[in-house]
Each structure stands twice: as C-alpha cells, then as structure tokens.
C-alpha cells in the first residue's frame, strides 16, 4: 500500500503545467526521432542533455525518459510501413511488420504494436513501482565489494550481450574506464592525466563525450552515406486489430511483457535485446515457425511489447542502485548528476518527488503515446519529408552551443569534436560506442568500490567471492563468460543455440 500511496503522490508531481509539458515534449520528441531514421534515442538524449541543466530534475528526467520510451513507439512506424527501423529496437519488427503492410495489413500491425507497447509499458510501470522500493531496501546492505561486482557484471553483460565483437567491446570499455580516470583521484584527490592542460584538472565532461560519440558521430556517418531512394511506403487502412489478430497476439504480448521486464533490468539489456529475445522466443514456440518473416502478427506484437516493457524496467537499477543498464540510462544518470543528484538506495527516501514523479510520468506518457500513435500515425510519417541533412545541421549547431553552456568552456566544444571524430571512426571500424560511454560513467564507481574493497580486505581479492551477494554476482559473471565462450564454440561448429544464442545471432545479423 505504501508504494500505491506514494505513486498517487507522484501523480501530484506530474500534474503541474511545467512537468506535464515536459512529459508531452519528451514523448513527442521520442516519437519523432523514432520515426526519423538516423537519430536514435541515445543520440537525441545526448543532444538534449545541456537543455536539462536549466530545468528542474523532475522535469528533466521525465522528459528524457519520455524520449526513451517514446522512441520505441515511433521506431515501429517506419519499421512497419517502410521496412526502415527508426531506431534499433524496432529493427526486428520490420521482418513481419512490413510483410503485413505488403498484405494490406499495415494498420493492424501498427495498432497491435501500439496496444502491446501500452500494455507492456503499463505492466512494467506497476512492476517498477513495487520492485524498485524492495530492491532499494535490499541494496542498503551493499558495500564496496557488491558495487564493484555489480559494475563488473554490467560491463561484462554490455560487452557480451549488446555488441557484435566481444574483443572490440572489451577494448573500448577499458578505454572508457581509462578516460574516466582523467581528473582528480576519487580517493586522494591528486590530479591524474591532465596532460598539462588546466581544463583537464576536473576531468572530461560526460556530456561532451556522449554528444560527440553518439550525436556528432551519427550525423557525420549520415553525411557520408549517399542518400538513395528506393522502396514505397505502405498504405494504412484501419488501424484497430481484428478479433482474430488479438487472439493471435495476446499471448505474445503477455510473453513479451514477461521477457522484456527482466531483460530491461539486466545490465546490457534494454530495447534491442528484449525485442530480439522476444522474437526468438515467439519463433521458437510457434506451431508453424515458417510463418515468421511472412507477416506473422506475433512477430510484431511480442517484440514491440518487450522493448517497451524493458525501456521502463531499465530504470530500476538506475534509480535504486545508481547503475545504468545501457548507454541511454548512462546519459540519464549524467543528467541526474548534472543536477547534483546521485541515484542510489537512498533516492526513494531523499527525493520521493523525483522517484515517484518519474514513475507516474511514465503512466501519463504511455497514455499520451497511445493517444498520439493510434490516430496520428499518418502525420508522423509526413516527417520523413524532412531531409536528415537539415536536421543534422540544426542539431549540430544547438549541440555545440549546448555543450558550451555547461561549463562556459570552449575546450568542451573541442572535446566534443574529438569525440565525434572518434565516434565516426568507431562506427566505420565496427567498434560500438555504447560500452565506452557506460564504462566512462561507471569508471569512478568501479575504481572507488575496488580500492575500498582492497582496503577493507587488506588486499585479499577473495572478498569479492566470499561475501554472499558479491559472490553470487561474480558467479553470474563467470556464468556469462562461460556461456559466451561455449556459445561461440558451438556456433563455430554450426550448432543451434537456445533463445539466448538465437538472440545474439539475430543481433549480429
């Protein structure tokens, strides 16, 4: 009942004109960038970070969260109608969604995706409201070894689950940790790696790094690509699914919610992995798997539900442990830190307006999205008329100005340009920036937790395995590493894997 009454208080926080406006802005921007190929939620949130500096923490996080789950809705539209995923989590939807469009059933595909997204999102919000306080109560007992183990688990899962090449991801994650060590030593305060530049005495700004790697890197990549036109947009007829459609997809929606919720909480999880896992699961348990890829509505309903559920549950580890589970959440953590708020087990007690306000805003945001997506799909599709070069130019201008406003230093602009060049080169050479940003954010948490653990144990590394919680987490790390190695061997020998392996294979394809 405590959670319920706190949630009702949370609605009081949302229902102020300012906060409602930012929720609306967030979900609308999310839907728009979801529709537009070329700008994903990570890049957009990176670009919006400086703007959040000037508004209240509640409004800032409500808006950024809205961008995240809103993009899951928007990405579906172009996936289904054009076979162009607006953002990565909707890529798998294109397989059956576009086939449905070709069969004249694009409307019901979008309809079931919106309904599934709403159900998955709403169930995940309820889960978040009840699970997060429990986890926070439990997490109060966490000490440095537990935090170190959790952070390592996060980095291991990100390098294994969410990326193509494990070796490349490990290298960039280590590089991210090294970049995080620039600036004052977190325990003794002595300056490290300042390269004789006073601007580096306080370290590198996350916003400059994230905006460069994701925002500028992505826009430059789009600039390089020749824009060619092929394909035709599908016709949209009636949008509400038929009774048969609903019968076929209701269990997929149920399973999508059940899969998406825990995957979102996993470090390295999030929208992409949950939608891929749901698709793999639906295909695996289908009576006739050959229907998949030819317009099976379950192939739309399951993944779309899962990616929305996971985008909500991903807030649980962030708000209760202060650990972001993917790059988007790492940026939202950055936004909180810019507001001098460090999320952790005490957040619910110390900042109840923020915690419960954000959860309540998700209910409101999901309702707005359902209202926006069902009747206005046609309007959102019109956005595809705007050329990405124009959006890119304006976004770059605002980004450069925005990063300057954080510390009023021209140096940050140069850091962002350098990070943009690195981001572009990483994209061209098959390195993913997400592990770098996540490692950069977690770097100081991990270093402090590790060094404190060593001081506690007198240099005995067994402290990480001898304590029950950290020991269990390290066991999971070992299991993930072992699965990764055996899975790679199995696939090299041409064997078929389970759902996890199928998911990873889908991600690689």
* 232-251: contacts with other proteins (CB under 8 A): 232-233, 235-240
Stretch near other proteins under the rule CB under 8 A, chosen from 26-34, 148-156, 181-189, 252-260? 181-189
Residue 74 CA to residue 93 CA, distance in Å, equals 12
Among 20, 381, 476, 500, binds other proteins (CB under 8 A): 381
Query: Can you give the three-state secondary structure of 8-24, one letter per residue?
Result: HHHHHHHCCHHHHHHHH
Among 2, 141, 227, 462, binds other proteins (CB under 8 A): 227
Among 4, 8, 285, 455, binds other proteins (CB under 8 A): 455
Residue 325: closest CA among 274, 258, 264, 276: 264
Nearest 5 degrees, angle CA 419-CA 158-CA 494? Answer: 120
Binding of other proteins by 492 (CB under 8 A)? no
Binding of other proteins by 18 (CB under 8 A)? no
Residue 95: closest CA among 84, 87, 104: 84
By beta-carbon proximity to other proteins, the closer residue of 129 and 148 is 148
Neighbours of 134 (CB within 10 A): 12
CA R_g for the chain: 22
Binding of other proteins by 493 (CB under 8 A)? no
Residue 263 CA to residue 308 CA, distance in Å, equals 11
Among 10, 26, 37, 120, binds other proteins (CB under 8 A): 37
Residues 38-97 that bind other proteins (CB under 8 A): 38, 54, 82-85
By beta-carbon proximity to other proteins, the closer residue of 8 and 187 is 187
Residues 195-214 that bind other proteins (CB under 8 A): 195
Alpha-carbon distances of 315 from 26, 90, 283, 329, 349, rounded to whole Å? 16, 20, 28, 7, 17
3-state DSSP assignment of residue 377: helix
Residues 388-447 that bind other proteins (CB under 8 A): 388-390, 392-394, 396-398, 400-401, 404-405, 408, 410, 413-414, 417, 420-421, 424-425, 427-431, 447
By beta-carbon proximity to other proteins, the closer residue of 192 and 250 is 192
Q: How far is the CB of 432 from other proteins (least distance, A)?
A: 9
- Asked if 213 and 433 touch (Cβ cutoff 8 Å), the reply is yes
Residue 177 CA to residue 388 CA, distance in Å, equals 33
Among 104, 137, 138, 193, binds other proteins (CB under 8 A): 193
Residues 355-374 that bind other proteins (CB under 8 A): 374
Binding of other proteins by 103 (CB under 8 A)? no
In angstroms, the first-to-last Cα distance of the chain is 46
Binding of other proteins by 16 (CB under 8 A)? no
By beta-carbon proximity to other proteins, the closer residue of 140 and 425 is 425
Nearest 5 degrees, angle CA 141-CA 145-CA 147? Answer: 70
Binding of other proteins by 294 (CB under 8 A)? no
By beta-carbon proximity to other proteins, the closer residue of 346 and 413 is 413
């Amino acid at each position: 009942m405590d959670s319920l009454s706190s949630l009702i208080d949370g609605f009081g926080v949302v229902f102020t004109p300012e906060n409602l406006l930012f929720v609306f802005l967030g979900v609308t921007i999310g839907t728009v960038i979801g529709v537009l190929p070329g700008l994903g939620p990570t890049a957009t949130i990176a670009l919006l970070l400086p703007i959040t500096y000037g508004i209240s923490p509640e409004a800032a996080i409500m808006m950024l969260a809205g961008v995240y789950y809103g993009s899951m809705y928007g990405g579906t539209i172009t996936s289904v109608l054009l076979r162009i995923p607006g953002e990565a989590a909707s890529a798998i939807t294109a397989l059956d969604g576009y086939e449905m469009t070709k069969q004249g059933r694009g409307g019901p595909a979008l309809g079931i995706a919106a309904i599934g997204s709403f159900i998955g999102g709403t169930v995940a919000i309820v889960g978040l409201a009840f699970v997060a306080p429990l986890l926070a109560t439990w997490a109060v007992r966490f000490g440095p070894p537990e935090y170190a183990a959790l952070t390592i688990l996060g980095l291991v899962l990100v390098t294994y689950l969410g990326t193509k090449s494990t070796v490349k991801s490990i290298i960039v994650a280590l590089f991210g940790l090294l970049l995080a060590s620039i600036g004052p030593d977190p325990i003794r305060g002595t300056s490290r790696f300042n390269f004789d530049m006073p601007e580096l005495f306080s370290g590198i700004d996350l916003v400059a790094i994230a905006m460069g790697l994701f925002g500028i890197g992505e826009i430059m990549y789009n600039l390089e690509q020749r824009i060619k036109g092929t394909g035709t947009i599908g016709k949209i007829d009636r949008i509400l699914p038929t009774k048969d459609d609903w019968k076929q997809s209701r269990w997929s929606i149920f399973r999508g919610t059940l899969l998406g919720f825990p995957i979102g909480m996993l470090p390295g999880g999030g929208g992409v992995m949950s939608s891929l896992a749901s698709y793999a699961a639906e295909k695996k348990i289908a009576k006739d798997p050959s229907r998949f890829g030819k317009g099976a509505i379950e192939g739309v309903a399951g993944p779309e539900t899962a990616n929305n559920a996971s985008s909500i549950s991903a807030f649980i580890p962030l708000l209760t442990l202060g650990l972001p589970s993917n790059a988007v959440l790492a940026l939202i953590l950055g936004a909180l830190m810019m507001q001098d708020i460090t999320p952790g087990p005490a957040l619910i007690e110390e900042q109840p307006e923020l915690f419960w306000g954000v959860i309540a805003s998700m209910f409101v945001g999901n309702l707005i999205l359902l209202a926006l997506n069902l009747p206005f799909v046609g309007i959102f599709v019109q956005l595809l008329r705007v050329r990405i070069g124009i959006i890119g130019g304006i976004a770059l201008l605002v980004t450069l100005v925005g990063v300057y406003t954080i510390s009023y230093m021209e140096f940050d602009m140069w850091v962002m340009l350098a990070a943009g060049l690195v981001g572009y080169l990483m994209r061209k050479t098959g390195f993913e920036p997400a592990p770098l940003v996540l490692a950069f954010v977690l770097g100081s948490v991990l270093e402090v937790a590790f060094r404190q653990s060593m001081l506690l144990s007198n240099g005995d590394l067994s402290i990480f395995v001898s304590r029950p919680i950290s020991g269990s987490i390290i066991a999971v790390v070992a299991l993930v590493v072992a699965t990764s190695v055996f899975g790679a061997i199995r696939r090299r020998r041409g064997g078929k894997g389970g759902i996890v392996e199928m998911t990873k294979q889908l991600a690689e394809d």
